[in-house]
Structure 1
Amino acid sequence: MEWGESLKKTIHVYHTNDLHSHFENWPRIRRFLQDRKKWHEEEGEDVFIFDLGDHVDRSHPMTEGTLGKGNIDLLNEANYDAVTIGNNEGITLPKEGLDTLYDNALFPVTLANLFYESGERPEWALPSIVFELSHGMKIGLTGATAFFSGAYEQLGWKLTPPIEELKKQVNELSKQADLIVVLSHLGIYEDEKIALEIPEADVVIGAHTHHLLHEGKEVNGTLLAAAGKFGYYVGHVMIEVDIERKQITGKKARVYKTSEELDAPLDEQRQVNKFIEAGKQALSQPVVHLPAPLSSEWFAPSELPQLLCEALREWCGADCAILNAGIVLEGLEAGIVTKYDIHKMLPHPINPCLIELSGAELKEVLKQTLDDKWPHLVIKGLGFRGKLMGQFVYDRLEADLDHYLFTVGGEDIHPDKQYKLATLDMFAYGQFFPEIYRAPVKTYFMPEFLRDVMEWKLLHHGYQLEE
């Protein structure tokens, strides 16, 4: 062995992102990370495990039932060293839910661009962290989350532009650390921007846009790494350093495919079922008593989508409402209905939304809802946790293209009159309907989800629990 070789060490960083509570992949991931950490430590190598956010997704009953604290327990068990947050932690939880989410965390949270309305940083959100390595070098860590400033402000937070904050943190870290890693829940294009504008960042581990970089990507001397979504992959960054000169001599990245390269524990399915049962137990509170079942159909008129559409209009104080029947995943049986039943029916992290449109714009939207393409259209993202769009459902609206009849509350829609339309926030974000997407006046109801609106409606519809 030559003299110089003994001065080189490898720092291992394992990373996950955008799990979205896909706990069916978690038993393998947890076992892999625990085994790898033990293995590297026994070899005398420095090893870190980081999560890039959106580990929490309230579509899973355990996450919903514990408001994400069950996810933190899982991260603790897998020996994570640090995390940052994604928009699912940030804006699908009520303010108090996020503010207490990490109370029992055994790891720090680095988050440079989140503040209270007063401008103070939450105690749990560290703008940066410095870890001292076994051989004396130091690794600096900072993180930032996607700039959904309006949503954060509505919940009582203040969010600042992420790259501006990262520049400040990296500038300070460069005085303290020998290498710098950025945890970015910003998306691939922002990660490339970080590499170009903050060259002092040695590694940027990315998330949010669910991008997968099999062998990383070098931009302006910075290594970008990312591991896709839903726990389908685990990422691994290897940083070779010269400990005498305290310099990086090499960087590379790879990913491991969970279904093929990670060993399954013998009790894998039992663990997955246990997560669901924990959620079912946490959401077991009775809500209402139904004297008869309520049906849900995606391609024909049915009771629950219509009831939800009516509830949406009432909740938002609107003139009328539309939604797609595919949003209601199943019906309700007669008898006691629990929070778990309502969650299973409406697992989406989707908020009610009020849109102000002219009559001419509303007519255009209604015409578009009559298009035959919608019912069987597969929808992904935008908070939708179902499969197909389903047919459109209306409340206090009539749309008859054959007779060119468009009414609100039984009266013809006047093209110049302003109307308030209640709908789903996914139609305001996605370009399904250009008129809705471009509408200048939109009001989002947060942190309530559709299931909260449905629960409210069922309670006010006379389905009270029996004494």
Structure 2
Amino acid sequence: MIENVRILHLNDLHSHFEHYPKVKRFFEQESDEEREIVRLDLGDNVDKSHPLTAATSGRANVDLMNDLRLDFATIGNNEGIGLSKAEISSLYDEADFKVLIGNLKDENGQPSWATPYHIYRTAGGTTVAFLAYTFPYYLTYQPNGWQVEDPIESLKRDLSREEVASADVIVLMSHLGLPYDERIAREFDQVDLIIGSHTHHLLEEGAYLEGTYLAAAGRYGEHVGQIDLSLCDGQLTDVRIFAQAISQLGSQAGDEKWVEDRLEQGRQLLAKDSICHLPSSLGVEESADLMMTAMKHYADASLSIVNSGLVVKGFAQDLTMADLQESLPHQMRLISLEVSHDELLAICQEIFAKEPLLKQQKIRGMGFRGKQFGNVLTSGFTYKNGKIVYNKKVINKSDCYRLVLVDQYYFAPYFERIKDKEVKLLFPELLREVVANDLGQ
């Protein structure tokens, strides 16, 4: 029996709803009656940088995923880490699709809102095993209440399951990134197709490696993936992969209004949450000072270092969560570390030495949702002419101090001195939630 199955997939949307109207039309237009359709989301759909996502903790995203008539979705780090455990545990309550994730557990085992894999049976009786794994950020999943497992070991385990091993076709929904995908293609010939994400890579016409097909559709809804599978008596005979650029699809009247309505809906929801009344509206550095004070309170620290680019817009006088969302849109948490005088001096030497290079850099990823890095600012001490002054006194070299930073400083490749230190990741609040709670008091 000859069968034609079409897989439509969305990669790393990150709440870029500005592309959603075109994405939806593509999903609808390519769902022809001659083919069986399976619709997928590859994770990192949710990103709290968008006001509506922040206001609903991602539930608005799930409504739109339902609107796309998805069959299966997996999670990325923006769902697994960017949301608190309580938020993700209720995220999919109203989902009309199955959530698949095979390498995430807690103290009770498999999360109740997801299954490790699914055996899909086509209308013609072909069995397709859908597996899914997310990138193993061990350091950040653990303090958020999760145990993320090695995806390679998880894959080995799942491939040994009888119903997976006996499936006619095995498809991996990967939120692992291209290097992992290529490794899996080389080492596991059982896997027929890997649909990749996480590293935002784009394979416009797919790739073929060691007998495994690879597909990926970039990021932000800028592309949408289409994979046509030809099957004969349960055997895969042909695979055609295509990533459609959304920019090449026509706009329609009402698209811009739909996008603006989503922004306004989010802003209105967030505006209901009043934080505080300040003596006046603040500039960037004044706002950064309040931000660092809040960071120190949260971490029980005496020192802080930030970059001014974290404050996208100075704090409004009558500050609401809508205002703070604009000022601090980042998907970012805090870290703390204990430092001696010499360790703090070495960290400052590295950070300030790189300030001229980073200042105008347009930072991407690692939770940063601003425009550029900006200037380096400190609180609790000053660094000048290669020396540290703490509370207007020369620091006592025998003392140890707690320093609080945004987690980007640890995960980004810029600052090796910080990477060398043992740090504590602080959960569950995001940076703007830390600031809101502190100012609200």
| The two structures share one fold, judged by TM-score above 0.5 | yes
Q: Does 1:424 align with 2:406?
A: yes
Which residue of 64, 84, 99 maps to 2:74? 84
Does 2:339 align with 1:351?
Answer: no
Query: Is residue 332 of structure 1 aligned with residue 278 of structure 2?
Result: no
- How much does 1:113 deviate? 1.0
C-alpha displacement of 1:162:
1.3
Deviates more, 1:212-221 or 1:284-293: 284-293
CA RMSD of aligned residues (A): 1.6
**How big is the shift at 1:18?**
0.7
Instruction: Say if 1:202 and 1:223, in contact at 8 Å, map to a contact too.
Output: yes
Report how far residue 50 of structure 1 moved.
0.6
- Aligned counterpart, 1:106: 96
1:206 is the counterpart of 2:166: no
Residue in 2 that maps onto 1:317: 300
**8 Å Cα contact 2:334-2:404 kept in structure 1:** yes
Q: Distance between the aligned counterparts of 1:323 and 1:359, measured in 2?
A: 18
Partner of 1:295: 282
Q: How far apart are 1:100 and its partner, in Å?
A: 1.0
Distance 1:87 1:48 in 2: 24
Partner of 2:215: 225
Matches within 5 A, 1:59-208: 59-118=49-108, 120-172=109-161, 173-208=163-198
SS in 2 for 1:283: helix
Aligned identity (percent) is: 33
Matched, 1:34 2:28: yes
Shift of 1:289: 4.0
For 1:143 and 1:370, the matched residues in 2 are separated by 42
Q: Runs of 4+ in structure 1 displaced over 3 angstroms?
A: 173-176, 368-371, 413-418
Note the alpha carbon deviations across 1:313-334, whole angstroms, 9 max, x for none: 2221113111011101112333
* Residue number in structure 1 paired with 2:365: 381
AA paired with 2:388?
F
Q: Give SS of 1:420's match.
A: strand
CA distance, structure 2, for counterparts of residue 395 and residue 259 of structure 1: 45
Inter-partner Cα distance in structure 2 for 1:446 and 1:318: 15
The one-letter amino acid paired with 1:379 is I
Shift of 1:124: 2.1
Moved more, 364-373 or 180-189: 364-373
Q: Which has more radius of gyration?
A: 1
Unaligned runs of 5+ in 1: 1-6, 461-467
In the aligned structure 2, how far is the partner of 1:240 from the partner of 1:416? 70
Contact 1:129 1:142 in 2 (8 A): yes
TM superposition shift of 1:375: 2.5
Distance 2:128 2:48 in 1: 33
Return the offset for 1:291: 4.7
SS at match of 1:309: helix
Q: Kindly state the Cα deviation for residue 415 of structure 1 after the two structures are TM-superposed.
A: 5.2
After superposition, the Cα gap between the structure-2 partners of 1:288 and 1:89, relative to the gap in structure 1 and judged at 3 Å, is: closer
Distance 1:326 1:175, change over 3 A: closer
Q: Which residue of 1 aligns with 2:440?
A: 459
CA distance in 2, matches of 1:17, 1:316: 35
Q: Which moved more, 1:213-222 or 1:49-58?
A: 213-222
Length-normalised TM-score, structure 1: 0.90
Instruction: Provide Cα deviations, 1:335-361, integer angstroms capped at 9, x if missing partner.
Output: x32211111111101111102233222
Is contact 1:181-1:204 (8 Å) kept?
Answer: yes
| Superposed CA offset, 1:265-287 (max 9, x none) | 32101110121122112212242
**Is 1:434 equivalent to 2:416 in the alignment?**
yes
The DSSP-based 3-state class of the residue aligned with 2:160 is helix
Q: Which amino acid aligns with 1:236?
A: Q
1:247 pairs with 231, 235, 239, which one?
235
1:368/1:25 Cα in 2 relative to 1: closer, same or farther (>3 Å)? same
Work out the CA distance in 1 between the residues paired with 2:418 and 2:142.
Answer: 22
1:283 maps to 2:270: yes
User: How many Å separate the matches in 1 of 2:391 and 2:25?
Assistant: 58
**Relative to structure 1, is the Cα distance of residues 101 and 414 closer, same or farther in structure 2, using a 3 angstrom cutoff?**
same
Correspondence 1:447 to 2:432 = no
User: Structure 2 unaligned runs (5+)?
Assistant: none
Q: Say which is worse superposed, 278-287 or 408-417, in terms of deviation.
A: 408-417
Mean CA deviation greater in 408-417 or 388-397: 408-417
TM-score of the superposition, structure 2-length normalised? 0.95
Does the CA-based 8 Å contact 1:15-1:49 persist in structure 2? Answer: yes
| 1:433-455 per-position Cα deviation (integer Å, ceiling 9, x unaligned) | 2111211x201111211111211
Distance in 2, matches of 1:203 and 1:23, equals 28
CA contact (8 A) 2:129 2:167 kept: yes
Distance 1:216 1:291, change over 3 A: closer
Partners of 1:326 and 1:446 lie apart in 2 by 22
Listed as ranges, the matches of 1:262-273 within 5 Å are 262-273=249-260
Structure-2 separation of matches of 1:290 and 1:145: 42
Counterpart residue identity of residue 303, structure 2? C
- Structure-2 separation of matches of 1:174 and 1:72: 28
Cα distance in 2 for partners of 1:175, 1:377 equals: 48
Name the stretch that deviates more: 287-296 or 92-101.
287-296
Contact in 1 for aligned 2:316/2:323 (Cα 8 Å): no
In structure 2, what is the equivalent of residue 274 of structure 1? 261
Partner of 1:395: 379
State the shift of 1:61 in Å. Answer: 0.5
Give CA-to-partner distance per residue, 1:96-134, whole Å, 9 cap, x none.
11111111000101111111213x212321111111111
Distance 2:113 2:387 in 1: 56
The structural deviation recorded for 1:387 is 0.8
